[in-house]
């Protein structure tokens, strides 16, 4: 499976969203992690594929399917090193809406849910480089 292959939302998940039994919570950025916000989702997933990030590793990657944004968690205080097209950083004094359930909501859905209390985080500068390469190739 590729990251790009994880973009599609299955009928089961859409059904769970429609029931409205999900909950989300605000989580403070900049303590354990920063979040790189990449628009559109497909561009961010292509960058994850380009950098060879293992889909099964449990990297925390979140999608907002309503606004077409991908959120990739990176080590705290490193988000500022990432500069790239379609990218911005959430860090200290900012918050991100996280799902409390496996499926979340359309606005906060785990594409890759963290499995551990201290999940692996992707290097911000490597992700920014991969994003620039993907944009260059799409030219």
pLDDT in tens, the chain (139 residues): 899 988 888 888 888 888 877 788 999 999 999 999 999 999 999 999 999 999 999 999 999 999 999 999 999 999 998 877 789 999 999 999 999 877 788 999 999 988 777 889 999 999 999 999 999 988 7
In degrees and rounded to multiples of 5, residue 75 shows phi and psi of -55, 145
**What's the pLDDT at 26?**
95
In angstroms, the CA 114 to CA 128 distance is 21
- The pLDDT value recorded for residue 104 is 86
Q: How far is residue 88's CA from residue 19's CA, in Å, rounded to a whole number?
A: 32
- Domain of 97 in residue numbering reads as 4-138
Residue found by looking up tokens 């992690």 in the block = 33
Indicate the pTM of the whole model. Answer: 0.92
Distance of alpha carbon 85 from alpha carbon 92, whole angstroms: 22
Place of tokens 């994003």: 131
Backbone angles phi, psi at 129, to 5 degrees: -65, -45
Which helix (H) or strand (E) segment holds residue 64: the answer is strand 61-64
Q: How many domains does the chain have?
A: 1
Q: How far apart are CA 55 and CA 138, in angstroms?
A: 23
């Amino acid at each position: 499976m590729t990251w790009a292959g994880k973009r599609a939302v299955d009928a089961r998940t859409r059904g769970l969203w429609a029931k409205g039994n999900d909950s989300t919570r605000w989580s403070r950025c900049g303590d354990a992690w920063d979040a790189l916000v990449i628009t559109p989702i497909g561009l961010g997933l292509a960058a994850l594929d380009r950098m060879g990030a293992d889909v099964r590793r449990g990297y925390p990657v979140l999608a907002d399917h309503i606004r077409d944004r991908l959120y990739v968690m990176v080590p705290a205080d490193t988000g500022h090193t990432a500069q790239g097209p379609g990218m911005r950083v959430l860090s200290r004094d900012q918050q991100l809406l996280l799902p409390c359930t496996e499926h979340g909501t359309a606005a906060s859905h785990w594409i890759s849910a963290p499995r551990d209390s201290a999940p692996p985080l992707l290097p911000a500068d490597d992700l920014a480089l991969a994003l620039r390469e993907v944009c260059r190739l799409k030219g």
